[in-house]
A = this chain, B = another copy of it.
């Protein structure tokens, strides 16, 4: 993820480009396993030692609101963040804290097709994310 690309994501949404926002977005895009705010803070401090904890939360909130990133929550953990914009699902491990992205175009077609005709009374469907629970073989 190039700096220019990140910069573009910010300006596109009318957000000012600041070193803190650049570093946080780079953290979310480069850290694997859906980092926590703390993971992101650690990453960012390498570049900007003076960054404030509150600033990280503040910026993450802004980025989620502007739909540049999204939140992922587990049954037990603290909030985690996801920089992947393409439609995808999540594999949750019952044994470890890894959350893996799961991409499946065929599945998405099937779901889209199924819900195209399916009316959920009183509800206006926007999108669907599968929580796929299981265990990784290595666990």
Contact = CB atoms under 8 A, between A and B. Distances in A.
A121 to B, nearest CB: 9
Interface stretch (A2-10, A15-23, A41-49, A73-81): A73-81
A122 B137 CA distance: 5
Interface residues of A, number: 36
B136 A124 contact: yes
Contacts of A136: 122-124
B131 A130 contact: yes
A135 B81 CA distance: 23
A132 B137 contact: no
A139 to B, nearest CB: 9
Given A74-B73, A110-B110, A135 B129 contact: no
Which among A100, A124, A125 has the highest number of chain B CB atoms within 10 Å?
A: A124
